[in-house]
Structure 1
Amino acid sequence: MLDAPLTGSEADGFEIARTIVGYANKINSTEKIGLHYTGGTKTMAAHAYRAFLSLNRSPKPVFSYLDSRTLRICIDDLENQQTRMFPAVLDKPPSLETILALHNLEWKKGKEPQRQPIAKDAAIAFAEIHGKSGMGEIWRKWCQQELGKKLKKGGENSLWKPEKDLESHRQLNLQFPPVAVPDNMIQVLRNCLDSSVVPQDNVGLVE
């Protein structure tokens, strides 16, 4: 698999085509090559496809993509002018590392994800509450207006403050007007997350 960087040229169809042709010409002309054009932008897909067709290689290139609606891999058969489709079924789900590798990415050293669930009981309880009409919207508004304004660098639409600053913030108001957190959510917060109940946590709740 070749990585063809398009830094700054993702919308330039001619540059995309020139880059693709340049990389493809480095591959032995007797080898079969292919383009899997799932993802990227419409410009990338269209001009990469056009570039591959212009190569006039033998055997002809193979084109494929993932149909996300049906979860099938679609392969364009240029010889017979038809598209063959196969179920994209795996014996087990791919790992996050595999998905990243397919995009030529990897975890930052020392920044690997937490493998064990954190506050699992709270997550389950909140999922159940969010299934009830209107609850999800109330929670989002409270998060934006209370959490966002107090715990983000430049207000509700910016990035979170550094972790040391988050740890030093002691109180959050559950009755922040005009949004009041419903009693069932307050109960979950009290039982699972509040520092007055779970001493190792650093955030207290004010009703």
Structure 2
Amino acid sequence: MNNNNLSQYKSDHLILLVGGNPLPNAVAGSCLLAEGGKITLVYSKTQKVQTARRQPFKIEGTQKVAQRLRRWFVQERRLTEHVYLQPVDDSDAWDIRVGIQTALQNSSDSVGLHYSGGTKAMAIHAYRAVQEKTKGEAVFSYLNPRTLEMFFDRPDDEAERVSVGTAVNITLEEMLFLQTSLRLHRKRPYLDVPLLPRTAQAVMRVHTAGGAELAAWKNWRQTAAGRYYKIWYDNGIPRNWKPAADIYNAPLPEPPPTSIGQTLLDELGQSGNLSIQGVWQKQPAGRWASEQDFIDEFLGFLLGGKWLEHYTLDCVQALREKFAFHQTLLGIVPARAGRNNKEDDALFELDVAAIRGYQLFAFSCGTGKKLKLKLFEAEKRARQLGGDEARVALICLADPAAVRQLEQVTRETIDLRIKLFGKNDLPQLTERLGEWLDTQTGR
């Protein structure tokens, strides 16, 4: 982005209409506030609704979203210390106008109104109130979630468009806070380096080719899984494999004489029998939060379906420079803080994620059969964290016919911001992802 394209649109007093998605306002505040300026966050009040046939109920407003934005502007980004909250009734034209007039009272500064958030009524009546107060001299802007362009209204011409897709880098941790006030699980940290990428490629090739080699690999995996599989809880954290103390020195069954087994031994720099201890000792210092975390990931890779997540992360990272991803992560576990200093309460998990500017790309990886449920869950969580700008891809082992059937379901029930990649796409996954990302990044 050329910052010179935005400098002419900066304001000393920036008014932001707050809706459910805080990301457009985070971007607008970062790009459009003049140095030393102030921000007013206009949010909708919580309303109590009375009906004749049912008990009164509340319609939640956006005060909490506004409070999180204020904290982000002031404490996290240190953009300005002058951030004010202005509540309005989002369906009452008079109350909206009064709220805007109150915000602009005794103000001689240049004014900007960004109306991506809030209700349609808030946008219409706030626009009119600012226009009247400033006699048309204010800067009016809107952020398009599909093209990631900022639109600036001009009275006698088409709106000017400025691409802001990479104007502001917002991390996953910041997205979690802004959208949900959640945090990352303290004892289940994400990974940013794929585990055994060459072995993951070998597993992918065997799965796509099928035949005797795949059958031999599955038989070995079943034998090994029976030896190590155990569901238990480690201080509240669910585990799928036996505790480290029980299997630390136990050798894994000898890998089958396949391309996977040989690649695994070569990548680990070992020959003959493998042990958890031997593999653990070769891990870089500080990469894992605990030995049990490593065991869960390593055995999940070899004996479960996690190899596909690591293969996907490797492919995404190959595109990092081209698409300006500032974060590429695996195993993201948002959590709610536990009460009374108890363990964090894990809520869900994203397999792989990449962030470009403030746009989240979520990659859900599935080697099983419940792909439709996995896809819907990924879409829901990506939208929850990344708002309307988020995009979702499902990476799976489905054949072309099953992929077409799933694509039909997504067109009918969700939208076209979702992409499916099946078994036939895996050998060229980096190229296929690049082709899709080219259509989704608003570059």
Q: TM-score, normalised by structure 1?
A: 0.49
Q: TM-score, normalised by structure 2?
A: 0.25
| Relative contact order higher in (CA < 8 Å, ≥ 6 apart) | 2
Q: From the two aligned structures, give the one with the greater helix fraction.
A: 2
Q: From the two aligned structures, give the one with the greater strand fraction.
A: 2
